[in-house]
Amino acid sequence: MSQTEILEVAVLLVAALIFGIVIGRLTKPDDPPVFKPAEPAPPLPAAEPPATRISIEAMVDPALIVAGETVLAANQAARQLLGERVIGRDLGMTVRHPALLDALAAAREGLGVDREISGIGPANTAWRLRVEPDGEGRALILFDDVTQARATERMRVDFVANASHELRTPLATLAGFIETLQGPAAEDEPARQRFLGIMATEADRMSRLIDDLLSLSRIELDKYVRPSERLTLAGMIAEVGAALQVRLDADQRTLVIEEAADLPDVIADRDQVLQLLHNLMSNALKYGHTGTPITVSARPDPDGGCVRISVADVGDGIAPEHLPRLTERFYRVDSQRSRTMGGTGLGLAIVKHIVERHRGRLEIESKLGEGTKVSFTLPAAPGADGAPRHGTATEAS
């Protein structure tokens, strides 16, 4: 074979090799695909409530959102009232109150409800129930506690009724005696004098009642205005004792005054403190036994920061069941005896309101067959030395 033929054969072999390599690369199968897990989509931003929307958790009174009768949401006050598991439950089955069931039925018909109910929660609690449907099958239920408002209204009604009764009684007595004096007793001088004396007593009673009513009204007007003047208590008990001296002598009573030396000044209204002392000492004079002492003490309170004044008598005492109600207007343990002694039924109510205005404490202790002790505190003036020193005792007879 010539060199030319050998060269041609080599060229053909190289060409065939190159062609095979090219064909092999073109026909080689692709690598199997690798599947990668899809990356999670970024979370959507939380939808912010409109600026005009507020959560029911911001409400102080119980509030719920219901769909039909199922509770969707309840604020903390509602959970405390109806139970922590009320959410998701049937409200009608949880509460079982006829008025609430009627309100839920009205809400399903798209009607609002506004009424007062009781019997839910603590005893004697009154609620104003309001149900407002949203037109989409849901409703907002609100419980507004009106217990205190109703109690105040009852007190006002009772006060007017009692005041009217207290005034009507002496007025009826006066009218009866006037009619008698104009008729059968017109020429009976002894009867006229006796009737006129009774009429004068009844007129005085009405005058005292009106004075006490006006006094109580003035005190209540200033109830939230705390006194700011500095007052020296030394000598005030003796001042009231001097005003009552005639009555003390008539009943053979002795006034024992116990004042701590250097008694600290207090922050108080002088006129009202005098009225406090007068009312309490008058009560001790009325209900204590003839010939027994009335003890009035004034000393710094052991707890500090105030002065304690006590008025104690020796008498029949008061049964324990009456003590909590003694400061109610027109409350009397013995109505007939109180009226006979000239009481209006407002004395201790006035005392209570004056003490409250001074941010003090009122305490009443009594034992049957031994007597009664009424104590109250007044705040000591800033910088006053409240440490008790030597006690002193004086007597007025």
Statement: residue 346 has pLDDT above 90: no
Statement: residue 351 has pLDDT above 90: yes
Q: Which pLDDT value is given to residue 374? A: 95
DSSP secondary structure code for residue 318 in this structure: -
pLDDT tens digits, one per residue of 7-20: 565 656 655 666 56
Q: Enter the CATH code of domain 59-145.
A: 3.30.450.20
Which residues touch 285 (CB under 8 Å, ≥6 apart)? 244, 247, 248, 251, 253, 294, 313
Residue 385 Cα distances to 39, 227, 234, angstroms:
78, 20, 14
Q: Find the range with the poorest average confidence among 40-54, 160-174, 254-268, 300-314.
A: 40-54
Q: Enter the CATH code of domain 230-396.
A: 3.30.565.10
366-378: average pLDDT: 94
Q: Where are the domains of the chain?
A: 59-145, 155-221, 230-396
Q: Which pLDDT value is given to residue 388? A: 40
Residue 99 Cα distances to 96, 103, 132, angstroms:
9, 6, 15
Q: Are strands 371-379 and 126-133 parallel, antiparallel or unpaired?
A: unpaired
298 or 182: which leads in pLDDT = 298
Q: Find the range with the poorest average confidence among 13-17, 61-65, 66-70.
A: 13-17
Tell me the whole-structure pTM to 2 decimals: 0.60
Q: 188 falls in which pLDDT band (50, 70, 90)?
A: confident
Q: Find the range with the poorest average confidence among 237-246, 252-261, 286-295, 335-344.
A: 335-344
Q: Enter the CATH code of domain 155-221.
A: 1.10.287.130
